[in-house]
Every structure is written in C-alpha cells, then in structure tokens.
Amino acid sequence: MNRITPALAALSLALLSTAALAQTPTLETQADTALESDTFAWDFVEGITTEVGPRQAGTEAEARGRAWAVAWLKAKGFANVADEPFMMDTWVPGDIARARVTAPFAQDLVVLPLGDSAATPAGGVEAEVVFFRTVDELRAAPEGSLKGKIAYISHQMRPAQDGSHYGFAGPARWVGAGIAASKGAVATVIKSVGTDHHRNPHTGGTTFPDGVTPIPAGALSLPDAENLERMFERAGGRPITLKLEMNPRQLGQTQSGNVVGEIVGRNRSLPPVLLACHIDSWWNSPGAFDDGAGCAIIAAAALNAGKAGQPLRTIRVLFAGAEETGLWGSAAYSKAHLSEPIAVGLESDFGADRIWRFDSNFRETNPALHKKIASAVARFGVSAGSDVAGGGADLNIVRDQKGALVDLQQDGTRYFDLHHTPDDTLDKIDIVQLRQNVAVWTQVVGILANEGTSIQTGTPIPSAPAIMGK
C-alpha cells in the first residue's frame, strides 16, 4: 500500500486549488462570453412574457409575475430570495375605451385611458374639443375657459438616442389632464407620448393636483391625433365635437411587492451593490422592453459576475413592484431598508437596445474608479460620459441615502415606438443587443462588487470583521 506523506498531501491540495482557479473565468472572460452567448437574460424575459404576460400593478397578474420571478431566481441559485409585500392604491383600466368625432367629420378614433383617469358617465361624454398645441398653451388658457369642453393636448416628440424628448413631451400626459380639469374641462385627450405611427395608443400615468377632481383622460394613437389636428385645419371655424367613453376604476388598497435576491459576497459587512428594475407592466402589453428586459439584464449580470468568483460585496437584485403607477415599490423598499447602507445603485429600465454611454455621480469624487469602469467597457463600444448619474426610478433608497449611482445609458432611438403600447412584445428584442447589455453590466457590476474602498469617494473603509457568505 502506498503511503501518502504530509508533503505529498499538501502538494496534491495545491494542485487541486490551482486547477480550480484555472477553471474559474475572469470577470473579463465572463463578460466577453456573455456578449457572444449569454442565455440567462433571454430565458428570463422570454419566460415571464410567455408564462405571465401583462402585469398591471397591484393586480393578480402582477402577483403571478412576482411568484414567477421568485421561482426563477431560486432555480438559478440566488440566495435570500423574497417577495416583500406593501400596500398601494390600485387603478385598473376597465374594458371600455371608445372615442368618436361626432361633427363635422364623423369617425372613430383609437384611444386608451391614462393611469388614474376617471370614468366617463355611462354612455360617454360628448363635448366640443379645444385644441392646445402644447402644455404651455393650456396653462395660458383663462380660468374657467374649458367649462363643459374637452381639452386636446398635442406635442412634437421625436426619436432621440438619449430619450431626451420624453422630458420635452411628457408633460402632456403627466400634468395635462390636471391642468385642464382645473380650468373646467369635462375630459382630456392627448396625442400619445411616443414616436411610432401605429394605431396603438401609448398609455401611462397622469396626475391631478390636490383639490382637483379627476376627469376622464385618454391617449389617442399618433395617427388618430394627427387626423384630429387636420380636422381643425379643415373645419373652417366650425366646432369639432368628440364623444369619449371609458370605464376605469379605483380598487382602493391592494397588495403589491418587491422581489429581491442576492449573490452573496465574501464580506457581508460591506454594503451591497444594488441592481434594480421593475417587475410590473401596463395591462396592454407583456412588457418585454418595459421592463422585462431590464430585470433579465440585471439578473444575468449578477449571475455572470458571480461565475467569475464569489465577489467581495453582495450583489442584490431588486425587481420593484408597481413602478408604472407611481413608484410604489421604490418608495416601499427605501422605507423598509433605509437604515441599511447601499454601496452603489444601478437600474436597467430603458428597453434592451445597446448601451452606448457610462455615467456616474462619482466622476469627481472617485476619478480612479470612474476611469477604471470607463476603460473596462470601452471594448463594448461604450463611451465615458460627463453627465452626473441620477439613477433609475426604482433607486429611491440610494438617492435617499445620497449614495453612489451609475447610469448605463441605452440607445433609446426606438424605445418610444414601443413604450406603453401593445407592441411591447418579445419579438421586438434584438438578442445581440440584449447580450451587449448583459456583457457591459457583467463587467461593471463585477468591478463594483469587488471594490474594497468606498465607491463614492475611493477612501478606505474602516476595517470590520469579515462575514463569510454561503
């Protein structure tokens, strides 16, 4: 029988350790592999859009989406997976949405209600339409001048890589109905805040100021809105009348939730890296771009970064609930976890097209880390930006903590063709661009999760006992 000496045993152990290390891909290798062949992201977005579909906030459909996501995270090996419930005010769209010009050019228009719209009376409301080319024109209308009338609000949104025209055109939806209601309007219709020319209205939330009673508020598809504007040109001063019928309703308080999971780091005393998206969608689409792809990207990046070796910091994913109807999940997560420091926050919520720019809010305070990340993602065609990152909608906790933020800016040229429409479906996702997102996120998340100093300032973190993760 051969005798194994202590020296031989030590040598064998060393060889095994070396072999194990050789089999662990580097972060760069893992990111490059994701660019060519990542399957995690597609598996997630294909699965949730196929098996769950639309996930309206606060409804049974959103609850099924959260349950699906919990099961997916557990199956992929995430730790500490949970569905953290919260209560929210819930609005649902109903099943009637009709608009018809009744004079002088009678014809139907395609309309959808906006979130928090009131219902029309049974059978609808019919009134003269007043045309406002911009929200500023509406603001300038005399008080009471819209009494008994329907306000129509237009805009001139155009596609842009950075999506900046959303901020330009968005007020038509965000505040238009509330302003019109305060001036006496019985209803509002807007030109959809979007850039496509399908007969698919873009829904989305609207708001009413305190003390202003909500009125029916709908979005016309862009072709129908432009048709209505041509009618005003041809009417020769004759009034244009519109009949609008919708039956949305408020359900009161219902339950939503935030789904969380972790790739546990080696040192639990260090604040985690938080990756965010939102799990809900509007009722009119399965939300592939908005924001199934975002959740797919962050989950895949966390998994890929973990495959490059257990990170120093924990990587936490947050699939926020009820983002579309008022950032309920983001606010609830911050309220529940505000006392737990976050090292840095990132969000994916702008579709699935390629990332073209990297921004942070620590370019001046931690230039070495900013430069390190910029250099690492350059090979994926990502430039270093000089804007100060503001973080996504579901990162309230990081903003509330005045913490570090990273923005990985996606190409938004076609995002607002699909945003909040029935066209937001799986077939619109380009898997090559989706993988580029995953590769960039893998690289960035891996760097951040292995950063031993303060991410925001680059200063050493006071020593603390290491708490080894599972």
303-317 pLDDT, tens per residue? 999 999 999 999 999
Percent of the chain with pLDDT over 90: 92
Cβ 226 vs Cβ 233: under 8 Å: no
Residues ≥6 apart with Cβ < 8 Å to 135: 153, 155, 171, 172, 175, 176, 179
Residue 220 has pLDDT above 90, yes or no: yes
Containing H/E element for 384? Answer: strand 383-388
Residue 7 has pLDDT above 60, yes or no: no
Residue 467 has pLDDT above 70, yes or no: no
Residues ≥6 apart with Cβ < 8 Å to 434: 38, 41, 42, 45, 293, 296, 297, 352
Residue 10 has pLDDT above 60, yes or no: no
Residue 159 has pLDDT above 70, yes or no: yes
How high is the pLDDT of residue 462? 66
Digit-coded pLDDT (tens) for 398-407: 999 999 999 9
How high is the pLDDT of residue 22? 52
3-state secondary structure of 286: coil
Cβ 286 vs Cβ 49: under 8 Å: yes
Digit-coded pLDDT (tens) for 43-65: 999 999 999 999 999 999 999 99
At 451, give phi and psi (nearest 5°).
Answer: -85, 120
Query: What own/partner pairs with CB < 8 Å and gap ≥ 24 does 45-49 have?
Result: 45/288, 45/292, 45/293, 45/295, 45/296, 45/352, 45/426, 45/429, 45/434, 46/426, 47/72, 48/72, 48/286, 48/292, 48/295, 49/286, 49/287, 49/288, 49/292, 49/425, 49/426
Residues 203-215: what's their mean pLDDT?
97
How high is the pLDDT of residue 223? 98
Residues 216-221: what's their mean pLDDT?
98
How high is the pLDDT of residue 5? 52
Q: Which residues pair with 245 in a beta bridge?
A: 98
Residues 327-350: what's their mean pLDDT?
98
How high is the pLDDT of residue 470? 37
Digit-coded pLDDT (tens) for 339-377: 999 999 999 999 999 999 999 999 999 999 999 999 999
Cβ 115 vs Cβ 205: under 8 Å: yes
CA distance linking residue 216 with residue 192, whole number of Å: 15
How high is the pLDDT of residue 461? 78
How high is the pLDDT of residue 243? 98
How high is the pLDDT of residue 469? 38
3-state secondary structure of 315: strand
Residues 152-171: what's their mean pLDDT?
96
How high is the pLDDT of residue 464? 41
How high is the pLDDT of residue 302? 98
Residue 191 has pLDDT above 80, yes or no: yes
Domains and CATH numbers, the chain: 26-90+252-449 (3.40.630.10), 94-247 (3.50.30.30)
Digit-coded pLDDT (tens) for 115-143: 999 999 999 999 999 999 999 999 999 99
The overall average pLDDT reported for the chain is: 94
